[in-house]
Amino acid sequence: MQAQYVPTPENIQARQQFDGFRFGIFLHWGIYSEFAQGEWYLNTGKLNKDEYAKAASCFYPILFDANQWIKAIKASGAKYITFTSRHHDSFSMYKTNESRYNIVDATPFKRDVLKELAAACQKEGIQFHLYYSILDWIREDYPIGRTGHDTGRTPRPNYDTYFQFMKNQVKELLTNYPNVAALWFDGYWDHNKDVPAFDWRLPEFYRYIHALKPECLIGNNHHTDPIEGEDFQMFERDLPGENKAGLSPQGISELPLEMCQTMNGMWGYKVADQDYKSVEELVTLIINAAAKGCNLLLNIGPQPNGELPALAINRLQGIGKWMNTYGETIYGTHRGIDDAPWGVTTKKGSTTFIHVLNKEYREIEYPLAKRPKLVKDFLSGNVLKYKYDKKKKTVIIPLDGIAGVPDRVVTMIE
Ligand code: FHN
């Protein structure tokens, strides 16, 4: 019987820091970007793996500039990135000795973009996280699950060798790129219908990772409750506790929380999908996530030429403008009220930031045990003349004259 996972003090500290970030950028970039049909094209297009691999032989993202990406991301107010080191298509976006199918050995570009991104993050003070798929659509030793049936491989399932391969790759990631602060696993659900249940040996995998780097945060997009050894919990396309997209039936744990969402509809670059959420919608999502004590990991699918899409840059700029002013009400805050008819709140010590998202409200009633010390308009700093109803134990806050898009923010000090 293995001893239960006890995070080290460094790991606990890393969790706390991560929990304060509240906003990060997800980057889905791989040779799939060249087809411009999203990151699942090998599977959805029922492509043969050797035909697909031709995308590697002409992958030359001439406009890629890690510093430019990270500068644009930093200006948005994001505190970290999560980059796809290897997606389901088996292609490693870094120099690995475990497979020749990687960006340095199999493309004319020959540059280790992971190294460049790691360095740019280091320079700009952005935390560096890596996505890693435990599901593989090409390797023969991967025990095929629900997806990746038509890639033309000869199945030779051997989870022992595949598991060893993953361990070796993860070791490379943690040792060759020292600023990797978190690993974000994906693909577990490929085997979630197996009878008997498939054993990914995750606690063993996590023990291996934590032995290499105890402070490395581990998260897994398995859509279930946290598994022994994980350091943060994630939700896909929904806020914790919501399950509109049908991918988040899990409960909410005490671990730091992260929700990931796309800017348009797809994770990897899809040329036909220009349907980007507005800055207002995205900022609202950041606010709602913060009110639930949750980080938003917002995705961008970089183009095959190495640039971030112009619409994505536009959204980064818009979010950055808002974060510049209102960041204090988001970063390092704790969960507050997340479902009032007028909006939500975030908290920091004795301060509550009241985010009035509903434009129709001229005043709000806020439940509070005793009269607050001070209530003011966050933007102007003007003190607001509130009323306190002792019987109902509510503060009545007038909103006239308070400006702000997408929300009006009131600071209340208890
Ligand atoms: O299949 C992947 C998908 O391509 C993408 O990486 C997302 C991100 O959360 N995760 C999987 C779907 O659950």
Residue 276: what pLDDT?
98
pLDDT tens readout for residues 253-269 = 999 999 999 999 999 99
Question: What is the CA(200)–ligand 1 centre distance, in A?
Answer: 18
- For ligand 1, the distance from its centroid to the CA atom of residue 87, given in whole angstroms, is 9
29, 236, 261, 270: which to mutate for ligand 1, most atoms within 8 A of CB? Answer: 236
Q: What pLDDT digit, counting tens, does each position of 51-85 carry?
A: 999 999 999 999 999 999 999 999 999 999 999 99
Contact 200, 188 (CB under 8 A): yes
Q: Quick one: average pLDDT of 187-215?
A: 97
For the CA of 267, the closest atom of ligand 1 is: 5
* Protein residue closest via CA to atom 1 of ligand 1: 187
Nearest CA to ligand 1 atom 10: 186
Q: Is the pLDDT of residue 108 over 90?
A: yes
The predicted pLDDT at position 3 comes to: 83
pLDDT at position 39 is: 98
Residue ID of nearest Cα to ligand 1 atom 6: 267
CA 268 to chain centre: 14
190 lines ligand 1 (CB under 6 A): no
Assign 2 a pLDDT band (cuts: 50, 70, 90): confident
- pTM higher than the cut 0.85: yes
Tens digit of each residue's pLDDT (9 = 90 or more) over 214-256: 999 999 999 999 999 999 999 999 999 999 999 999 999 999 9
* Atom 7 of ligand 1, nearest CA residue: 267
pLDDT tens track for 334-391: 999 999 999 999 999 999 999 999 999 999 999 999 999 999 999 999 999 999 999 9
Structure confidence by residue, pLDDT tens digits, 26-49:
999 999 999 999 999 999 999 999
Q: Give pLDDT, residue 393.
A: 96
CA of 119 to the centre of ligand 1 (A): 26
C-alpha of residue 232 to centroid of ligand 1, in Å: 17
State the pLDDT at residue 238.
Answer: 96
- Residue 186 Cβ contacting ligand 1 at under 6 Å: yes
C-alpha of residue 172 to centroid of ligand 1, in Å: 23
Give per-residue burial for 283-296: e unless 16+ CB within 10 Å, then b. bbbbbbbbbbbbbb
- Residues forming a β-bridge with 26: 82, 299
Report CA dihedral (399, 400, 405, 406) to the nearest 10 degrees: 40
For residue 311, pLDDT over 90 is answered with: yes
Under the banding of pLDDT at 50, 70 and 90, the label for residue 281 is: very high
pLDDT per residue as tens digits for the range 131-174 = 999 999 999 999 999 999 999 999 999 999 999 999 999 999 99
Q: What percent of the chain has pLDDT over 70?
A: 100
Q: Is the CB of 142 under 6 A from ligand 1?
A: no
Looking from the CA of residue 223, the nearest atom of ligand 1 is: 13
What pLDDT, on the 0 to 100 scale, is given for residue 373?
A: 97
Beta-sheet pairing, 351-356 with 343-348? antiparallel
Residue located nearest, by CA, to atom 3 of ligand 1: 267
Using CA atoms, how far apart are residues 110 and 361, in angstroms rounded to an integer? 57
What atom of ligand 1 comes closest to residue 26's alpha carbon? 8
Does the Cβ of 333 fall within 6 Å of ligand 1?
A: no
Res 367: pLDDT: 93
Q: Decide: 236 in ligand 1 pocket, CB within 6 A.
A: yes
**Which residues share a beta bridge with 183?**
130, 218
Is there an atom of ligand 1 within 6 Å of 40 CB?
yes
Q: How many percent of the chain have pLDDT more than 90?
A: 99
Rounded to whole angstroms, the Cα distance separating 61 from 111 reads: 10
In whole angstroms, what is the distance from residue 382 CA to residue 402 CA? 9
CA of 39 to the centre of ligand 1 (A): 9
